[in-house]
């Protein structure tokens, strides 16, 4: 069945590959970008800024004016800060939450009335492995994804009677522009920062994992299959074996033991 799909953040990475694949499969795909020249082939561009509510309203209206329905919302867009929780600039973590969480909430609230009236819909929210465990020097990123987890869990129960499915995606490390883009929002630690030496060691480990991460094309294929399911699972953890195991270990190990594993992995002294 051909679906009208609204997906955020299609200029690169997961969003670009997913939007392009869904369009090739015959779906009508609208993808949000900041500049129309960044839109993948066959995807209809929508200029939208997740931190601007009017921009969100206008984007949704523009799709409804053309299609009169939205079958699938994929909340993919986001940004990634990095730095010590104590010293990272305040404007960075405000932007982190406004983009990853508040923007997702505002967009979802704009589209929910449409799906209710249709009596069907699917909302796919991108969380992260970092939304299931707090990651050192990525604390505000983890906080934004923890918020997505709680929001999705509650939303799923509230919209069930309207035949709206809510799916959470937890990617592990993938090789995208995420590493490059995060460098714009790294804490500018100086020699006087008490976290500086540890932060640089851990950051090196984080970025090495991302560089060796999976191909976004693989994740796009998974998302395309989920979109076409009548009864998708509530959650899909799309990650390496080791990262999937970390989620299992967190559930069953004593908290102190699991914390020690993370501290050793990220070389925290």
Residue 141 known to be catalytic: yes
Catalytic: which of 3, 11, 152, 266?
11
Task: Report the alpha-carbon distance of residue 215 to residue 175 in Å, rounded.
Answer: 6
Task: Report the alpha-carbon distance of residue 165 to residue 49 in Å, rounded.
Answer: 25
Catalytic: which of 141, 195, 199, 266?
141
Residue 127 known to be catalytic: yes
77 SS3 class:
coil
Catalytic: which of 3, 55, 127, 236?
127
Contact between 221 and 21 under an 8 Å Cβ cutoff? The reply is: yes
Contact between 262 and 209 under an 8 Å Cβ cutoff? The reply is: no
Task: Report the alpha-carbon distance of residue 88 to residue 175 in Å, rounded.
Answer: 25
Tokens describing residue 154: 């509650």
Contact between 82 and 137 under an 8 Å Cβ cutoff? The reply is: yes
168 SS3 class:
strand
Task: Report the alpha-carbon distance of residue 23 to residue 30 in Å, rounded.
Answer: 9
DSSP state of 133: S
Residue 246 known to be catalytic: no
Catalytic: which of 3, 44, 145, 165?
145
Task: Report the alpha-carbon distance of residue 138 to residue 143 in Å, rounded.
Answer: 9
Residue 265 known to be catalytic: no
59 SS3 class:
helix
Nearest of 112, 120, 114, 119 to residue 155 by alpha carbon? 112
Tokens describing residue 165: 């499915």
Residues with catalytic function: 11, 127, 141, 145
């Amino acid at each position: 069945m051909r679906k009208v799909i609204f997906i955020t953040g299609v200029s690169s990475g997961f969003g670009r590959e997913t939007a392009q694949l869904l369009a090739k499969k015959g779906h009508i795909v609208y993808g949000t970008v900041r500049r129309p020249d960044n839109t993948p082939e066959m995807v209809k561009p929508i200029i939208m800024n997740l931190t601007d509510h009017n921009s969100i309203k206008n984007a949704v209206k523009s799709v409804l004016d053309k299609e009169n329905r939205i079958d699938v919302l994929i909340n993919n867009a986001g940004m990634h800060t990095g730095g010590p929780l104590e010293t990272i600039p305040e404007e960075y973590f405000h932007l982190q939450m406004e983009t990853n969480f508040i923007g997702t909430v505002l967009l979802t609230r704009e589209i929910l009335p449409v799906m209710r009236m249709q009596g069907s819909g699917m909302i796919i929210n991108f969380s992260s492995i970092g939304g299931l465990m707090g990651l050192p020097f990525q604390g505000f990123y983890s906080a934004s994804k923890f918020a997505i987890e709680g929001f999705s869990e509650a939303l799923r129960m509230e919209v069930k009677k309207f035949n709206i499915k809510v799916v959470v995606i937890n990617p592990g490390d993938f090789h995208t522009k995420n590493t490059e883009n995060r460098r714009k929002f790294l804490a500018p630690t100086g020699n006087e920062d008490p976290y500086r030496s540890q932060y640089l060691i851990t950051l090196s480990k984080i970025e090495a994992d991302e560089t060796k991460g999976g191909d976004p094309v693989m994740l796009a294929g998974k998302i395309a299959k989920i979109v076409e399911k009548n009864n998708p699972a509530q959650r899909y953890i799309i990650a390496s074996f080791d990262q999937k195991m970390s989620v299992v270990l967190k559930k069953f190990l004593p908290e102190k033991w699991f914390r020690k594993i993370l501290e050793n992995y990220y070389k925290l002294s």
